[in-house]
Chains A and B, each alone.
Chain A
Amino acid sequence: MRDVGVAEELAQDALVAALEQWPVSGIPAKPGAWLMGTAKHRAIDLLRRRKSLERKHEQLGHELVGAQQELAERDFDAAIEDDVGDDLLRLIFVACHPVLSTEARVALTLRLLGGLTTEEIAHAYLVPEATVAQRIVRAKRTLAEARVPFEVPRGTELAARLSSVLEVVYLIFNEGYSATAGDAWLRPELCEDALRLGRILAELVPNEAEVHGLVALMEIQASRLRARLGPSGEPVLLLDQNRARWDRLLIRRGLAALDRAEKLGGTLGPYALQAAIAACHARAGTPAETDWSRIAALYDALAQLTPSPVVELNRAVALAMAFGPAAGLELVDELTSEPSLKTYYLLPSVRGDLLVKLDRFDEARVEFERAASLTRNASERKLLLERAAACTPASS
């Protein structure tokens, strides 16, 4: 952008539109339009207004002048391309600033970058619209009070801030992929929003391996969306899914993104590692073909990078698949004393599963019932109670 004045005006314009006008008017100029599109159109409108003014002055000028203006307009278009991208990136970093609470970051990101209305966000997160509106207002105030600059962080700060951005995007995806509350288990629109944000981000910061890792993870997980719901809306577990229903296009895109992350070199980050695990499943034509020992190894790497009982639980499942249920159960039993997993429904669920495989049905039933009492999701509870019922001696 040659004209600094215009650049500032546009940056200002995007912020004003996003932070001020939208919440007030409720509906953006183009409902559902993404900020990038909006900012770009604004820039072009602005340019056209100026051009038409100039044209009025030169109405008597001959065609050549007109042609030159056309050319200038195209140059301008190309020039603002990068600048709009920068604005967008700044906005992502501001919306995901660590001074904000997680909920505020999510709400602001969906509002400013996802183009969702307050009502749509409220609907997606099953909270009253007023709550979302208030979150956004408060977030704006917090950003103003903290004097958060409208800029892309540099150097060492970039990594920390980027991880906050990735976290927000993945949180949005996960709420869509496995809703924490309510009757519906999936909210595919949220997955789509997160995926699109991720894909945009990957083009804005193409040299950050973890961005591609996150995109790969989301693409591969989203490829299974169709297969995750059974005929009457019940969740279908990964190994029971009909792989013919996996979206091959998304798998291909996911594997390509993972490849980009790996080619950037260095050790894989947590998202790329999770993507590599998801890729093991995606590459297997049938559950039996899954490379479980590689998955166990990848979970081991993940556990070293981000030690967490939940990662350990997943490693236990992989170990059980690779080396038998007893190997997995050994690790799961160690985790039962973990305080942070006391109310985590997947622990008794996994334990129940392993106990079934070891023909210890009575213990398994207790675990499934416990898991059912811990989940907040109606569909999942139903599935777990069915598994508990299947553990009766008659069926064993």
Chain B
Amino acid sequence: MRFMIVMKSNKESEAGIMPSQTLLEEMGKYNEELVKAGVMLAADGLHASSKGARVRFSGGKATVIDGPFAETKELIAGYWLWQVKSKEEAIEWLKRGPWATGSEEAAKLERRLGPLEIEIRQVIEADDLGEAYTPELREQDERLKAQATAKA
């Protein structure tokens, strides 16, 4: 099963401060370990929300709200996509990250920004939708997707 591991924003990431070289090195080592174990499928970091926007739709009208957004801790700063056997395995792997294995750099970050919270979310595969995802719905879905691709 696949999980998305979501790293939340903090004051520094929202201020556009990039991770230090030490942290990047430690993360690189961790990522390498994940690749070696066949766990890592993809990973990306995201720019501060000041470089993004929200588009609100109401009554068919689009309103664009430019970043930055206030709720820093709810924003997404980056993600990994992992292939693991269970949620427990995903948790085990998180416990092997630099933030849990005595990294000096991670400790400094925690002192400045408070405890780190990482969210684990399972990716929905077609089969997970179960009974509610009836053949008719699935067909409709596929038709819509086909139309969307035809237009793209």
Contact = CB atoms under 8 A, between A and B. Distances in A.
Are A and B genuine complex partners? yes
A30 B93 CA distance: 13
A149 interface: no
A76 interface: no
A34 B92 CA distance: 11
Interface in A30-74: 30, 32-34, 36-37, 70, 73-74
A253 B41 contact: yes
Contact of B85 (A115, A197, A285): A115
Interface stretch (A4-12, A240-248, A308-316): A240-248
B37 A36 contact: yes
Contact of B83 (A195, A229, A243): A195
A192 interface: yes
Of A198, A199, A285, most B-chain CB atoms within 10 Å: A199
A40 to B, nearest CB: 8
A241 B33 CA distance: 36
Q: Is the interface of A mostly helix, strand, loop or mixed?
A: helix
A188 B127 contact: yes
Nearest to B147: A244
B148 interface: yes
B11 interface: no
A70 to B, nearest CB: 6
A198 B37 CA distance: 10
A243 B147 CA distance: 11
A196 B81 CA distance: 14
Interface string A165-204: 0000000000000000000000010001001111110011
B28 interface: no
Given A195-B83, A232-B135, A242-B146, A37 B33 contact: no
A245 B102 contact: no
B145 A203 contact: no
A197 B42 contact: no
B85 A249 contact: no
Contacts of B65: none
Contacts of B39: 196
Interface in A275-334: 285
Interface residues of A, number: 34
Contacts of A196: 38-39, 83
A266 interface: no
B138 interface: yes
A226 interface: yes
A151 interface: no
A199 B149 contact: no
Contacts of B138: 231
Interface in B49-83: 81, 83
Contacts of B142: 231, 242, 244-245
A70 B85 contact: no
Nearest to A243: B149
A363 interface: no
A285 B41 CA distance: 23
Task: Identify the 9 closest CB pairs spanning chains A and B, nearest first.
Answer: A199-B38, A231-B135, A196-B38, A244-B145, A32-B85, A244-B149, A200-B38, A203-B36, A231-B139
Given A36-B36, A231-B138, 17 more contacts: A32-B88, A33-B89, A34-B89, A37-B89, A37-B92, A70-B102, A77-B101, A196-B39, A199-B35, A204-B36, A226-B125, A231-B135, A242-B145, A242-B146, A244-B145, A245-B142, A253-B41
22 contacts: A30-B92, A32-B88, A34-B89, A37-B89, A70-B102, A73-B102, A85-B36, A188-B127, A195-B83, A196-B38, A200-B36, A203-B35, A204-B36, A226-B126, A231-B135, A231-B139, A231-B142, A242-B145, A242-B146, A245-B145, A249-B41, A249-B81
